[in-house]
Homo-oligomer: A and B are copies of this chain.
Amino acid sequence: MQMLTVDLGDRSYPIYIGENLIEQPLLEKHLKGRQVMIVSNETVAPLYLEKLKSQFSAANVDTVILPDGESFKDLEHLNLIFDALLEKRHNRTTTLVALGGGVVGDMTGFAAACYQRGVTFIQVPTTLLSQVDSSVGGKTGVNHPLGKNMIGAFHQPVAVIADTDALNTLPERELSAGLAEVIKYGLIYDAAFFDWLEANMDSLRQRDQAALTQAIHRSCEIKAEVVAQDERESGIRALLNLGHTFGHAIETSQGYGAWLHGEAVGTGMLMAADLSARMGWLCRDDVARIRDLLIAAGLPVVAPKSMTPEEFIRLMAVDKKVLDGRLRLVLMRSIGEAVVTDEVDPVLLNQTLTAESNLGQI
Which residue numbers of A lie inside 8 Å of B, CB to CB? 33-35, 75, 78-79, 82-83, 86-87, 89, 91-93, 113-118, 139, 141, 144, 146-147, 150-154, 317-318, 320, 322-325
Whether A324 pairs with B33 at a CB distance below 8 angstroms is yes
Give which listed residue, B78, B83, B154, B318, contacts A89 with CB less than 8 A.
B318
Give which listed residue, B35, B115, B146, contacts A83 with CB less than 8 A.
B146
Whether A153 pairs with B93 at a CB distance below 8 angstroms is no
Query: Which residue of the partner chain B has the closest CB to A91?
Result: B322
Whether B118 pairs with A153 at a CB distance below 8 angstroms is yes
How distant is the Cα of A139 from the Cα of B51 in the complex, in angstroms?
A: 38
Query: Which residue of the partner chain B has the closest CB to A322?
Result: B91
* A153 and B113 contact, Cβ closer than 8 Å, known pairs A75-B79, A86-B146: yes
Which 9 A-B residue pairings sit nearest by Cβ, starting from the closest? Answer: A86-B146, A117-B152, A114-B151, A116-B320, A91-B322, A33-B324, A75-B75, A86-B147, A82-B144
Whether B320 pairs with A151 at a CB distance below 8 angstroms is no
In the assembled complex, how far is the CB of residue A234 from the closest CB belonging to chain B, in whole angstroms? 10
Whether B93 pairs with A144 at a CB distance below 8 angstroms is no
Give which listed residue, B92, B153, B317, contacts A153 with CB less than 8 A.
B153
Q: Kindly list chain B residues whose C-beta atoms are within 8 Å of the C-beta of A79.
A: 75, 144
How distant is the Cα of A114 from the Cα of B113 in the complex, in angstroms?
A: 10
Query: Which residue of the partner chain B has the closest CB to A114?
Result: B151
Whether A93 pairs with B324 at a CB distance below 8 angstroms is yes
How distant is the Cα of A146 from the Cα of B139 in the complex, in angstroms?
A: 27
Whether B117 pairs with A154 at a CB distance below 8 angstroms is yes
Q: Kindly list chain B residues whose C-beta atoms are within 8 Å of the C-beta of A152.
A: 114, 116-117
How distant is the Cα of A91 from the Cα of B321 in the complex, in angstroms?
A: 8
Query: Most chain-B Cβ atoms within 10 A of its Cβ — which of A34, A35, A114, A154?
Result: A114
Whether A118 pairs with B324 at a CB distance below 8 angstroms is no
In the assembled complex, how far is the CB of residue A39 from the closest CB belonging to chain B, in whole angstroms? 15
Q: Kindly list chain B residues whose C-beta atoms are within 8 Å of the C-beta of A150.
A: 82, 86, 115-116
Q: Kindly list chain B residues whose C-beta atoms are within 8 Å of the C-beta of A93.
A: 323-324
In the assembled complex, how far is the CB of residue A58 from the closest CB belonging to chain B, in whole angstroms? 13
Q: Kindly list chain B residues whose C-beta atoms are within 8 Å of the C-beta of A87.
A: 146
Q: List 10 A-B contacts (CB under 8 A).
A: A75-B75, A82-B144, A91-B323, A91-B325, A93-B324, A114-B141, A114-B152, A115-B150, A116-B152, A117-B141
Query: Which residue of the partner chain B has the closest CB to A90?
Result: B318
How distant is the Cα of A75 from the Cα of B144 in the complex, in angstroms?
A: 13
How distant is the Cα of A83 from the Cα of B322 in the complex, in angstroms?
A: 18
Contacts beyond the supplied A79-B144, A82-B144, A87-B146: 17 A-B pairs with Cβ under 8 Å: A33-B323, A75-B79, A82-B150, A89-B318, A91-B320, A92-B322, A92-B323, A93-B324, A113-B153, A114-B114, A114-B153, A115-B151, A116-B150, A117-B153, A117-B154, A118-B153, A153-B153
How distant is the Cα of A91 from the Cα of B320 in the complex, in angstroms?
A: 6
In the assembled complex, how far is the CB of residue A343 from the closest CB belonging to chain B, in whole angstroms? 18
Whether B117 pairs with A86 at a CB distance below 8 angstroms is no
Give which listed residue, B33, B35, B82, B318, contacts A151 with CB less than 8 A.
B82
Q: Kindly list chain B residues whose C-beta atoms are within 8 Å of the C-beta of A86.
A: 144, 146-147, 150, 318
Q: Kindly list chain B residues whose C-beta atoms are within 8 Å of the C-beta of A82.
A: 144, 150-151
